[in-house]
A and B are shown apart, each in its own frame.
Chain A
C-alpha cells in the first residue's frame, strides 16, 4: 500500500539555521504531495503542496520539490524562526477516487531563540 516516511522525532535548530526535513514516499499511483503543519491544540493545516512531478510547493519561506526520480518531497527553509516551531507532516494522496490522505509519522520542529 501507499506509505510516507519522514524524519522522525524532534529537530532542534536555532533561529537562523537552515532546515531540511526528509520525506520519501511509496505508491503505485500518481500522487499529489503535501506538507501539513500542526500547532498545539489545533488540527493539521495545509502548509504547501505539489500536484505533479517537478512542481515546487512554497509557503512562508518553506519549499519542497516533488522529485519523482527519487520519490522524495523534502521540506527546506534557509533560515528558521521561533514561530516555525510546530509538528510537520508529509502526506500523499493518489489521483484515484476514493482514496484518503496518507500521513508520515510527523516531525516536531522546535526552534530555539
Chain B
C-alpha cells in the first residue's frame, strides 16, 4: 500500500546515455512533483504537474523532460546524461498546489560515471 512509489531505486549509467525514472501515486492527489537532492542534501524543485498539466518548470536543462500520462503518474526522462546529473531524485505528490503537504517517494539515486 505504498503511497508514492518510484523506480528504479538505484540507477548507474554512463555519460551520454538516456534514462527514465517512473513515479506512481495511489493517494488520489492532483499534483505531482520532481525534486532533486544534491550531495549536500539540498532539495530543489524541478517540475510540477497538476492534473497532467505542467505548472512549474524551474531552470532545468532541456535534457530533462517530464511526462504525465495521467494524474497518478509522473515520469522523468533524461537525455545525454552528464556527471553533474548525479543526485537523488524524489517524486512527490500533494492534494493540490499551495498549502498542501507533500508526500515523497523514497528516491532514485542516479550515478553517472
Q: How many residues of B contact A (CB 8 A)?
A: 25
The stretch from B12-20, B61-69, B76-84, B104-112 touching chain A is B104-112
Contact A97 B97 (CB under 8 A): yes
Q: Do A46 and B101 touch across chains, with their CB atoms under 8 A apart?
A: yes
Interface 1/0s, chain B 91-109, versus A by CB < 8 A?
0100011110111111100
User: Which residues of chain A from 17 to 63 have a CB within 8 Å of any chain B CB?
Assistant: 32, 34, 38, 41-46, 49, 51
Pair B41/A100 contact, Cβ less than 8 Å: no
- The smallest beta-carbon distance between A9 and chain B, in angstroms, is 10
Question: Do residues A43 and B56 form an inter-chain contact, with CB atoms below 8 A?
Answer: no
* Bound Cα distance from A103 to B42, whole angstroms: 8
Indicate if A95 sits at the interface (CB-CB under 8 A): yes
**A98 to B56, Cβ gap below 8 A?**
yes
B107 to chain A, nearest CB (A): 6
The chain A residue sitting closest to B47, CB to CB, is A100
The answer to whether B92 and A99 have CB atoms under 8 Å apart is no
Bound Cα distance A94, B40 (Å): 25
Q: How large is the interface on A (under 10, 10 to 19, 20 to 34, 35 or more residues)?
A: 20 to 34
- Cβ–Cβ contact B105 & A43, under 8 A: yes
Q: Are B98 and A45 in contact (CB under 8 A)?
A: no
- What are the interface flags for A76-107 relative to B under an 8 Å C-beta threshold, 1 for contact and 0 otherwise? 00000000000101000111111111110110
B99 and A95 contact, CB distance less than 8 A: yes
* Residue pair A100, B48 in contact (C-beta under 8 Å): yes
Q: Which B-chain residue is minimally distant from A105 (CB atoms)?
A: B42
Q: Which residues of A contact B (CB under 8 A)?
A: 32, 34, 38, 41-46, 49, 51, 87, 89, 93-103, 105-106, 108
The chain B residues found within 8 Å of chain A, CB to CB, are 4, 33, 40-45, 48, 50, 55-56, 90, 92, 96-99, 101-107
